[in-house]
Structure 1
């Protein structure tokens, strides 16, 4: 069972603690480290006043993770302050996404969260302007082939990652939340029109309902699975926050407006199954939401709860499905042939006399 202990804990922490054996705690800690959730489970234990009920060794692991997560959060605030002058004069909205947005609003999902980069969304017609300004602020693109750079610029939803030459901070600069090479059309105008200002900052953040929609799109319309358990737990916390802020009806309305109902419906089905999420169960009863896709939901649940063999097979299907969604078939065929051909061409060039690495 690939993530059984983690899922059981976040579904019902008190119940898990009462029945967990030393072997289960060991597996739980391994899974928590793999998914970057060590500080997150410690935060849950704190808020639910369960710290005194867990083994001392488990508590120590959580404390260590919490200190590291807190240091990262301070680094995030410091980096955002460094970026303020760059975005302060912008005459267009600049939105924080994902973890940075969660932390900026102090949402429960952000506590204990680890950060690998800062995601920023700007209007597509301002992408080049922002990128050029970031260059002058010390950010640069990593070395990559011309083919890979063209892929980012022409077919993806973001610029190639930008890293600061001194601080090492990585910025993912987005102009959309989904690859433009896809046949699926997602309207992101509502993210800008309903964005919430951050007091004292040039940045804004999407409405909480849009944060959930974005997370659902990222999970159900793409092929990534390396942090699948964390992504599902994030979705669960985000939907509870949507309900707490009384944005559930707004979320369903926006999902239809943005043409992403299937991602939201599938997310609600999975959250209802794994966590008995009350908000998900309410949403699934709404006539505004289409029925979940059984095959898609079962694939994801198999990756989380199936045997090693069935989970591996489900991941392969998920990978193929994700790429078929991200690219129109013409682009997918071209990319499947052109990328290996490009790699082979570069390999032959290195064999030529006089070639400089």
Structure 2
């Protein structure tokens, strides 16, 4: 796959190219952006560069509509965070936000153009019961009711089963670590929580420090089997790196932190594909520093063929005959990184049986 041939990537890296698109090209671009959950980013960039009036009427209406939806969500996020603050205050636990809500509340670049569906929190494992109880008292309940789901999350995963609010329908994912406890990568959550920082103007709300935010985004993208929004997450990573990493010292500190937290390999992948797909300049010495955590030349060639397909928009114009193979490989890889084989095999068999309507209860959980 050649990322430079993807119209969406071209438009997001250089929005000015959209001024010369035909209506057919605009239709392709809008469809690619929707499939990758990047239409709000496209609309934001075009608006920021003063190009919205140069967009033909029909595609412009799509951009205006998604921009309005994004603004409504930003307001709703801040309202929902107030409710989370009340619940976690009852649990006597600081509110530490991850991913989309963190980007919004910390006023970080991805937040201005990010549509997301749930709220992610990080709490100490010792506080899980208190936090779950407090959330239940404030209207949230577990969205996964089957015994298998409950056991899957509580025994093997790094989070509680997702919780949905009974009236507002907001979904909360309560994490106690960045990766499952059965995974080979085990960053110390105590170190991560100790390094969190307060949001400007909201001292009661905390987010990961800059380096840890980059590393969490890298882990989420390259340590997971869900690649539906992979390109969106890669652009989020690009925003975070360009925002937090300004000079050689910052680059070195990022690499040092990755090695300290045993996250050198996810960072290697993140920087490799930021450079290969989104044209982000990475210092050579950082690649060298992360070399011991890379899979090697042959491994990189194989992974390039897989990741570069998985990171493309899920659209026929960005796929080839190997794309389904790559997506399946990423799905299996993501699960294999979560748990050892003796746990993985029965889990995948159970999911396959459910999809074939051969099991009465929903075994989904990973």
Instruction: Tell me if both proteins adopt one fold, taking TM over 0.5 as the criterion.
Output: yes
Q: Structure 1 residue 324: deviation in Å?
A: 1.1
* 1:300 aligned to which of 304, 307, 314: 307
User: Residue in 1 aligned with 2:343?
Assistant: 331
Q: Structure 1 residue 313: deviation in Å?
A: 1.1
User: Residue in 1 aligned with 2:45?
Assistant: 44
Q: Deviations over 1:121-162 (max 9, x none)?
A: 101111111001111111111253101110011111111111
User: Residue in 1 aligned with 2:128?
Assistant: 127
Q: Deviations over 1:10-63 (max 9, x none)?
A: 22222x225533222111101112222222111111222333433233322111
1: CA distance, partners of 2:58 / 2:294: 41
SS at match of 2:121: strand
Q: Indicate how the Cα distance of structure 1 residues 304 and 195 shifts in structure 2: closer, same or farther if over 3 A, else same.
A: closer
1: CA distance, partners of 2:292 / 2:59: 42
Mapping for residues 74-89 of structure 1, pairs under 5 Å: 74-88=75-89
User: Residue in 2 aligned with 1:252?
Assistant: 255
SS at match of 1:185: coil
- 1:277 and 2:273 are equivalent in the alignment: no
Q: Structure 1 residue 346: deviation in Å?
A: 3.9
Give TM-score scaled by structure 1 length.
0.88
SS at match of 2:120: strand
1: CA distance, partners of 2:34 / 2:290: 38
Q: Deviations over 1:298-351 (max 9, x none)?
A: 31112345643111111111111111111111211332355667985647xxxx
Q: Indicate how the Cα distance of structure 1 residues 286 and 191 shifts in structure 2: closer, same or farther if over 3 A, else same.
A: same
SS at match of 1:171: strand
2: CA distance, partners of 1:307 / 1:107: 32
Q: Indicate how the Cα distance of structure 1 residues 270 and 200 shifts in structure 2: closer, same or farther if over 3 A, else same.
A: closer
- 1:213 and 2:215 are equivalent in the alignment: yes
1: CA distance, partners of 2:222 / 2:275: 16
Give TM-score scaled by structure 2 length.
0.86
RMSD: 2.5
- C-alpha contact (below 8 Å) 1:304/1:311 kept by paired residues: no
Q: Which of 142-151 and 240-249 deviates more?
A: 240-249
Unaligned runs of 5+ in 1: 348-357
- 1:311 and 2:323 are equivalent in the alignment: yes
Q: Indicate how the Cα distance of structure 1 residues 73 and 282 shifts in structure 2: closer, same or farther if over 3 A, else same.
A: farther
* 1:204 aligned to which of 206, 215, 230: 206
- C-alpha contact (below 8 Å) 1:177/1:188 kept by paired residues: yes
Q: Deviations over 1:175-217 (max 9, x none)?
A: 1111122233222333211111134453210012211111111
